[in-house]
A = this chain, B = another copy of it.
Amino acid sequence: LAIRCLSVLVCLSLVSGVGLAGIAAAPAPSPSSSLLPDAVRERAAALRDDALAGTRALEIARSLSFEVGPRSAGSPGDRAAVEWGLRTLRGLGFENVHAEKVTVPHWDRGTIAGEILSPWPQPVILASLGGSVGTPEAPAGNGIEAEVVGVPSLAALDQLDPARVQGRIVFYDVKMQRTKDVAGYRDAVPVRGAGASRAAKRGAVAVLIRSIGTGHDRFPHTGAMRYEDGVAKIPAAALAPADADLLAAALASGKPVRFRLRSTARMLPDAESANVIGEIRGRERPDEIVLLGAHLDSWDLGTGGIDDGAGVAIMTEAARRIGAAGNGKLPRPRRPRRTIRVVLFANEEFGTSGARAYAAAHAAELAEHVLAAESDLGAGRVYRLSSGVAPDHLPQIAELAKLLAPLGVSPGDNEAHGGSDVAPLGAAGVPLLDLDQDATSYFDWHHTANDTVDKIDPKEIDQNVAAWAALAYAVADLPGDLGRAPAGKGRE
């Protein structure tokens, strides 16, 4: 049975002997041993340094990419991925390995073809956005043929004379900016989700977007879109960057631009998938959970090497090393106080079905989740630790950040969002930690056919494993916990 703290402050005082008054008056550094005992710190540091000498993460990512490959929700690859997850976690020595059923939407991309008919007849390379309807099959099966109207943003569409949109194909030419963090993506991506219904309300017959990505290689980027209730569903597709340039140039010529689109995309009946779970059981408080998440599904165009094969591999390998730690500088395995639970979530990409199913199925034990974290931004180097905890626990976070400083990880703010799959847990009060990754190159490959495992740098993925192994171990073996997250965390 787990001994749990009734509140953050009681917990801290029990562990460290620091009185309530002292904490309240000075949230500044307490003696560090009180926040992160030497034994925990040393073991965490050894896990960190051992991982830098080489891990099995790339091997795990490669296994998932090669042996399963594309695994979008509801597809045969999705089922194969669940089997892979169970087999892999068992093979790596995890305990309590099991699948928890998740019902997922099942969208089928079918085939797509697009061509400029005039002024410069030429086929283009494009991909349906996830969830898009296809073009009408009847009567002639010739798809949609219409004139194109271009706009530089969602807002610009609203400024257009409705007569210019009615019966047309709307082309949103939004250019994503390359940033180290996800800011560039966050700013550009709304057009993907909302563009179709926004145009359909004004009578458009289809939408095209410039792919949401930073690369200039000729890959169209997919990703989820959604239809508003009560608005006509029109097809939505993303053009590869060069093809967006071409369409923009055709529009800039001043001549009418006609376009033909054919797509057989469609929704199929819901399907069954699963969250795959494995644990390193805690030695003292096994019911308290440090949750390390990643998502098992991928988009269908690539093999999900980075999204989220990398995250699956990082979290699985970090937990494995904590459980198996007897190598390198660590004289013998020792379980942490709490349980490390790896959760490989079903269907993050097309509606976070697995996240919602997990939060519902585990609602009763969320109070015993002492941390939730996710790795879902490829294998780029970790550069910052952000938290989503009650402010009085920030001194502990500062101690954890020190542990990661040798990896080049800086302290961040307390605005961690936790990643799509664990955000609902943060909203339910589970403390969140983010290890922010350098995403400078990530959006060159994200959601394209080019998301393959060769994009992972072995040194970089090992640095991720080092950071997560040290951090997860430290939180799981702390005498005290991180309290509860304040309202508003994890909702982003």
A285 at the B interface (CB under 8 A): no
Which residues of chain B come closer than 8 Å to A77, judged between CB atoms? 122
Which residues of chain B come closer than 8 Å to A119, judged between CB atoms? 67
Of the stretches A21-29, A176-184, A242-250, the one at the interface is A242-250
- B67-A120 in contact (CB<8A): yes
- B66-A454 in contact (CB<8A): no
Partner of A66, one of B249, B302, B452, B453: B249
A367 at the B interface (CB under 8 A): no
Q: Which of A315-351 contact B (CB under 8 A)?
A: none
Nearest opposing residue in chain B for A452, CB measure: B242
Partner of A218, one of B123, B249, B250, B302: B302
What are 9 sample pairs from A and B whose C-beta atoms fall under 8 A apart?
A66-B122, A69-B122, A77-B122, A80-B121, A218-B302, A218-B448, A218-B452, A241-B454, A242-B303
**A183-218 vs B, Cβ < 8 Å mask (1 yes, 0 no):** 000000000000000000000000000000000111
Which residues of chain B come closer than 8 Å to A123, judged between CB atoms? 69-70
A447 at the B interface (CB under 8 A): no
A382 at the B interface (CB under 8 A): no
Complex Cα gap A249–B77 (Å)? 18
- B449-A218 in contact (CB<8A): yes
Known: A66-B250, A217-B217, A242-B305. 7 other contacts (CB 8 A): A66-B249, A67-B119, A216-B454, A218-B219, A218-B449, A242-B450, A245-B452
**A106-134 vs B, Cβ < 8 Å mask (1 yes, 0 no):** 00000000000001111101000000000
Complex Cα gap A65–B249 (Å)? 11
Show the binding face of A for B, using Cβ within 8 Å. 62, 65-70, 76-77, 80, 119-123, 125, 216-219, 241-242, 245-246, 249-250, 302-303, 305, 448-450, 452-455
Complex Cα gap A67–B450 (Å)? 28
Complex Cα gap A302–B242 (Å)? 10
Complex Cα gap A448–B454 (Å)? 19
- B452-A120 in contact (CB<8A): no
**Given A62-B249, A218-B219, A449-B218, residue A454 in contact with residue B242 (CB < 8 A):** yes
Complex Cα gap A292–B76 (Å)? 55
Which residues of chain B come closer than 8 Å to A121, judged between CB atoms? 76, 80
Complex Cα gap A77–B27 (Å)? 71
Least distance between A238 CB and chain B CB atoms (Å): 15
